[in-house]
Amino acid sequence: MPDDLLGPHGRALRRPRRRGRRHPGAPGEGAARVDHPRSRRWHPQPLPHGPCAAAAAAWAARPRLPRGECQSAARQRAASQRGASVTGGVALAVFGGAAVVDWVAVGRGFRGAEYVAKPAALAALIAYAAASSASAWLVAALALSLAGDVLLMLPFELFVPGLAAFLLAHVAYVAAFRSPALRTMVLLVPVAIVAVPLGSRVVGAIDERALRPPVITYVAVISVMVASALAYGAVAAAWGAVLFMASDALIAWNRFVRRLAWAPVVIMVTYHLGQLGLVTALRGP
């Protein structure tokens, strides 16, 4: 044995053996020996198998855009979002201005200004909702509300068609909320506790019996809409629906029970704020 392998006491020195650790390979391939981490040898990892292999293959085979096209698509999305944000902000500002003009016009009796401002407010609110990822049901509800505003605003009697337009608007709002049925039915109980006595008082004061069935139907539908908004779970939806119902209740009271001098302005203020609350809750990003 060479002298350099002998220790000071003549004992043979053994070079330490590198011991690798066992690394399990893929099923059926046995165990692969992995050397010490300092080793420069490259040991490929086993490929995934089973469902993982299928997922990895699908991910590797996914269509990819070139780097330049990806950046261009991202810039286009960002520009589209900025444009929608600007459009929504402008539409909201127009809605606020038109609503205030309508309140003043109703309070002062300026019919010409009212004929312009009232539909302009709802048209701007439709643009505000459409500038986002709002559902078609929300846009339909606002469009039907706009039709109801125009029908009830005209000087000749179109009360029943206007009532029908708003009834369909409430149906569209219920479809837009898509609230759980059980929660809606539970919350319908407190809404009915308020709506039934008030509706009975209004219906009893209607002299023209042909108007009673449409009014009763309308009270039932708007009660379901309010319960659906409460079940939706958003604060804006709750106060929006409550203000909308308060506006309609005041319309009915002022028309059939007793005239109130301050009612027309309060009706429009609660109506516009109620619509804004519903749109705020349902409008997408």
3-state secondary structure of 252: helix
Domain total for the chain? 1
Please name the residue that has the structure tokens 């505003």: 149
The residues with which 275 forms a beta bridge, in sequence order, are: none
- Its domain, for residue 185, covers 135-282
Q: Does 218 reside within a domain?
A: yes
What's the mean pLDDT in 227-254? 96
At 41-94, the pLDDT tens digits run 555 555 556 666 676 777 667 776 666 555 555 555 554 555 557 888 899 999
Task: Tell which residue, 247, 151, 231, 143, has the closest CA to residue 191.
Answer: 231
Handedness of CA 123, 153, 163, 226 (dihedral sign): positive
Average pLDDT, the chain: 83
Quick one: tokens of 88? 């929504």
At 107-116, the pLDDT tens digits run 999 999 999 9
Q: Does 103 reside within a domain?
A: no
Q: Does 249 reside within a domain?
A: yes
Which has the higher per-residue pLDDT, 21 or 88? 88
3-state secondary structure of 71: helix
Q: Does 210 reside within a domain?
A: yes
Q: Where is 225: in which H helix or E strand? A: helix 212-232
Q: Does 247 reside within a domain?
A: yes
Question: What local confidence, expressed as pLDDT, does residue 251 receive?
Answer: 95
Question: What local confidence, expressed as pLDDT, does residue 155 receive?
Answer: 78
Question: What local confidence, expressed as pLDDT, does residue 265 receive?
Answer: 96
Please name the residue that has the structure tokens 């179109």: 158
Q: Where is 31: in which H helix or E strand? A: strand 31-34
What's the mean pLDDT in 164-176? 98
CA 215 to chain centroid: 30
Q: Does 238 reside within a domain?
A: yes
Question: What local confidence, expressed as pLDDT, does residue 134 receive?
Answer: 82
Q: Does 241 reside within a domain?
A: yes
**Phi-psi region at 13: left, alpha or beta (left = phi > 0; alpha = psi -120 to 50):** beta
Q: Does 193 reside within a domain?
A: yes
Quick one: tokens of 254? 């002022």
Which has the higher per-residue pLDDT, 28 or 77? 77
In degrees rounded to 5, what are phi and psi of residue 192?
-65, -30
